[in-house]
C-alpha cells in the first residue's frame, strides 16, 4: 500500500525546537520575572473572539482588520476571529468579566496571535506576543511604568544596547483633529505620488500614511508636518509628564514626531522600541495609550495604556541561550541494576536533581549518552556494584570517580558523594568502567 502523503505545515507557522524553543522560553521567562517586579497580574484569555471585538476596537480601516485577520464562521454560524493581538480581547474581558471593580488593573499575558501576512524573517502568520496593559488609569504615571517595564525587560534580556525607544504623542482629540487637517492638506498636494494603499488611507485614515512602509510614500511621509504645532496645552503637559518620568527612571528615549501606530485607537503616548539588527522587521515592541477603545466595545469611558512585543523578534536578538543541561545520568548495566536504577532516578528527581537514565545499547553507548547530555555526573550501577550495595559516581567534568553507597543517592548532594574518599571501596567496578571508557576489553 502506498504511504499517504504527510500533510505540510501551514505557511507562516513555526515548530519551535531546540535553539528556537530556548530563545522563545528565555523571552517568556524574563517577562514573567519582570512583570512580577512591577505588580502586573498574569491573565489568560481566549485565542478567538467574536469578530466584532477586533473589528470595532482596532478599526475597520487598519491593515490588521482589513487584510490580516483569520476570520471564519463556526458551525453555529457565528463570525469568529483568531486574535491578531491581545488588547481588544483584554478590554472585552475587562467589561464582560466585571474586572472594572479592580481598576486600575495591571495585566500581563503572552501567547500566540494570528495575522495573515506575507511570511518572511521575523514575520509569521502565527507568532507570539508578550503583552502588558494598565486599564483604568488616565495618569501619565501609568505610561511611564509600562515604558520602564519594557526597558527593564530589554536590559534583562541583554538586548537593550541595540534597541532604541522612539516616543511620540498623538495628542488629545482636539490636537489630533487639528494635526489631521494639516496632514490631509499636505498629502492632498502629493496625492498622485502616493501608493494606491495610501491614496485610500488619505480618504479614510490619513495619519496612517505616516506609518507606511512603501518606498513611494516614505519621502512624502517624512516631509509631513509634525504634531507639535497643533498641540493643546493639556496634551503638551501630558507628554511632558511622560518624558520627565522616563528621565527620572533613567530610561533613554528619542522623539520621533512621525511615529503613529497602526491601530486606530491610540491617543497621547505612542511608542516603539526599534532596532536595525532585524532588517525590515525592526520594531520589536510597540504600544501606547488607547483611551477611546473601551467605549467602542460599549463600555464606559476608560483610559488605558499598553504594549505588545513579538517574542520571535526579541528572541532573535538574544545571545544564544545555553542548552538545558541535566545534572546526572544514571547508567545501569544488567536487569537487576536497571530495576534498582529506576528507583534511584525517581528518588533523585524528587529531591530536585535533574536526572536522565541511559537505557539503550551497551555500556559504551550509555556512557556516550551520559557525556553528550552535558551532565556533570554519571551514576554507574553494574551487577558488581549492586551486590556490594555501591554505585559509582563519576564526575564527567573532572574525569574522576568515587564509589558511594546506594542509599546515599538522592539523600545528599552528588557533589558531596563524589568528594567522599573511598579508600575502602572495591575498585573492581571502577576499573571496569575506566577500561570501557578507554575503549578497552569490556567496550564491545
List of residues contacting ligand ATP (CB under 6 A):
85, 115, 117, 122-124, 127, 129, 262, 281, 283-286, 308-310, 312-313
User: Cell 493643546 identifies what position?
Assistant: 232
Question: Cβ of residue 278: shortest distance to ligand ATP, in angstroms?
Answer: 9
Question: Cβ of residue 63: shortest distance to ligand ATP, in angstroms?
Answer: 7
CB atoms within 10 A of CB 55: 20
Residue among 310 and 382 whose Cβ is closer to ligand ATP:
310
Question: Cβ of residue 67: shortest distance to ligand ATP, in angstroms?
Answer: 11
Residue among 150 and 417 whose Cβ is closer to ligand ATP:
150
Phi and psi for 133 in degrees, rounded to 5? -140, 145
How many angstroms separate the CA atoms of 425 and 408, rounded?
Answer: 14
Kindly list the distances between the CA atom of residue 150 and the CA atoms of 147, 307, 443, in Å, as whole numbers in the listed order. Answer: 5, 9, 55
How many angstroms separate the CA atoms of 95 and 135, rounded?
Answer: 11
What would you report as the CA-atom Rg of the chain, rounded to the nearest whole angstrom?
29
Question: Cβ of residue 381: shortest distance to ligand ATP, in angstroms?
Answer: 48
Residue among 23 and 369 whose Cβ is closer to ligand ATP:
23
For residues 226 and 258, the answer to whether their CB atoms sit within 8 Å is: yes
Residue number, nearest CB to ligand ATP: 310
Question: Cβ of residue 274: shortest distance to ligand ATP, in angstroms?
Answer: 9
Question: Cβ of residue 316: shortest distance to ligand ATP, in angstroms?
Answer: 10
Question: Cβ of residue 216: shortest distance to ligand ATP, in angstroms?
Answer: 17
Strand partners of residue 49: 81
Question: Cβ of residue 185: shortest distance to ligand ATP, in angstroms?
Answer: 26
For residues 410 and 355, the answer to whether their CB atoms sit within 8 Å is: no
In terms of Cβ atoms closer than 10 Å to its own Cβ (0-12, 13-18, 19+), residue 8 is exposed
How many angstroms separate the CA atoms of 373 and 328, rounded?
Answer: 9
Residue among 58 and 345 whose Cβ is closer to ligand ATP:
58
Residue among 310 and 442 whose Cβ is closer to ligand ATP:
310
Question: Cβ of residue 243: shortest distance to ligand ATP, in angstroms?
Answer: 21
Residue among 94 and 127 whose Cβ is closer to ligand ATP:
127
Residue among 61 and 281 whose Cβ is closer to ligand ATP:
281
Residue among 246 and 309 whose Cβ is closer to ligand ATP:
309
What strands, in cross-sheet order, belong to the sheet with 267-275?
Answer: 41-42, 105-114, 126-135, 304-310, 283-289, 267-275, 163-169, 254-255
Question: Cβ of residue 312: shortest distance to ligand ATP, in angstroms?
Answer: 5
Residue among 30 and 391 whose Cβ is closer to ligand ATP:
30
How many angstroms separate the CA atoms of 444 and 434, rounded?
Answer: 14
Residue among 62 and 401 whose Cβ is closer to ligand ATP:
62
Residue among 131 and 327 whose Cβ is closer to ligand ATP:
131
How many angstroms separate the CA atoms of 335 and 215, rounded?
Answer: 70
**Within 13 Å, how many C-alpha atoms sit on residue 113's CB side?**
27
Question: Cβ of residue 211: shortest distance to ligand ATP, in angstroms?
Answer: 8
Kindly list the distances between the CA atom of residue 427 and the CA atoms of 269, 376, 389, in Å, as whole numbers in the listed order. Answer: 72, 21, 13
Amino acid at each position: 500500500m502506498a504511504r499517504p502523503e504527510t500533510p505540510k505545515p501551514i505557511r507562516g507557522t513555526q515548530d519551535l525546537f531546540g535553539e528556537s524553543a530556548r530563545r522563545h522560553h528565555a523571552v517568556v521567562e524574563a517577562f514573567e520575572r519582570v512583570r512580577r517586579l512591577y505588580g502586573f497580574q498574569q491573565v489568560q484569555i481566549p485565542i478567538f473572539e467574536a469578530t466584532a471585538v477586533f473589528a470595532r476596537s482596532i478599526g475597520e480601516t487598519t491593515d490588521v482588520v482589513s487584510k490580516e485577520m483569520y476570520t471564519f464562521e463556526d458551525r453555529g454560524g457565528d463570525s469568529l476571529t483568531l486574535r491578531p493581538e491581545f488588547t481588544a480581547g483584554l478590554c472585552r474581558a475587562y467589561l464582560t468579566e466585571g474586572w472594572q471593580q479592580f481598576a486600575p488593573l495591571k495585566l500581563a499575558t503572552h501567547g500566540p496571535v494570528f495575522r495573515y501576512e506575507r511570511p518572511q524573517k521575523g514575520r509569521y502568520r502565527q507568532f507570539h506576543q508578550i503583552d502588558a496593559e494598565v486599564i483604568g488609569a488616565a495618569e501619565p504615571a501609568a505610561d511611564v511604568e509600562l515604558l520602564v517595564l519594557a526597558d527593564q525587560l530589554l536590559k534583562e534580556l541583554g538586548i537593550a544596547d541595540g534597541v532604541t525607544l522612539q516616543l511620540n504623542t498623538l495628542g488629545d482629540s482636539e490636537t489630533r483633529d487639528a494635526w489631521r487637517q494639516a496632514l490631509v492638506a499636505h498629502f492632498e498636494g502629493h496625492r498622485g505620488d502616493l501608493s494606491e494603499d495610501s491614496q485610500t488611507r488619505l480618504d479614510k485614515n490619513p495619519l496612517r500614511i505616516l506609518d507606511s512602509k512603501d518606498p513611494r510614500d516614505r519621502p512624502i511621509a517624512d516631509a509631513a508636518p509634525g504634531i507639535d504645532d497643533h498641540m493643546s496645552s493639556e496634551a503638551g503637559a501630558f507628554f511632558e509628564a511622560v518624558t520627565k518620568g522616563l528621565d527620572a527612571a533613567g530610561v533613554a528615549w528619542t522623539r520621533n514626531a512621525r511615529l503613529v501606530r497602526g491601530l486606530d485607537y491610540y491617543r497621547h503616548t505612542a511608542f516603539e522600541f526599534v532596532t536595525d539588527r532585524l532588517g525590515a522587521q525592526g520594531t520589536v515592541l510597540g504600544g501606547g495609550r488607547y483611551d477611546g477603545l473601551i467605549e467602542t466595545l460599549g463600555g464606559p469611558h476608560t483610559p488605558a495604556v499598553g504594549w505588545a512585543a513579538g517574542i520571535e523578534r526579541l528572541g532573535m536578538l538574544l545571545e544564544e541561550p545555553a542548552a538545558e543541561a541535566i545534572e546526572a545520568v544514571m547508567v545501569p548495566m544488567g536487569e537487576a541494576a536497571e530495576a534498582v536504577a529506576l528507583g534511584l532516578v525517581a528518588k533523585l528527581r524528587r529531591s530536585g536533581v535533574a536526572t536522565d537514565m541511559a537505557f539503550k545499547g551497551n555500556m559504551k553507548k550509555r556512557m556516550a549518552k551520559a557525556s553528550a547530555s552535558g551532565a556533570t555526573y554519571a551514576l554507574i550501577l553494574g551487577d558488581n556494584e549492586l551486590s556490594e550495595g555501591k554505585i559509582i559516581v563519576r564526575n564527567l567534568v573532572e574525569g574522576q570517580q568515587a564509589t558511594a553507597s546506594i542509599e546515599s543517592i538522592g539523600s545528599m548532594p552528588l557533589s558531596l558523594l563524589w568528594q567522599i574518599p573511598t579508600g575502602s571501596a572495591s575498585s573492581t567496578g571502577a576499573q571496569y568502567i575506566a577500561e570501557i571508557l578507554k575503549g578497552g576489553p569490556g567496550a564491545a
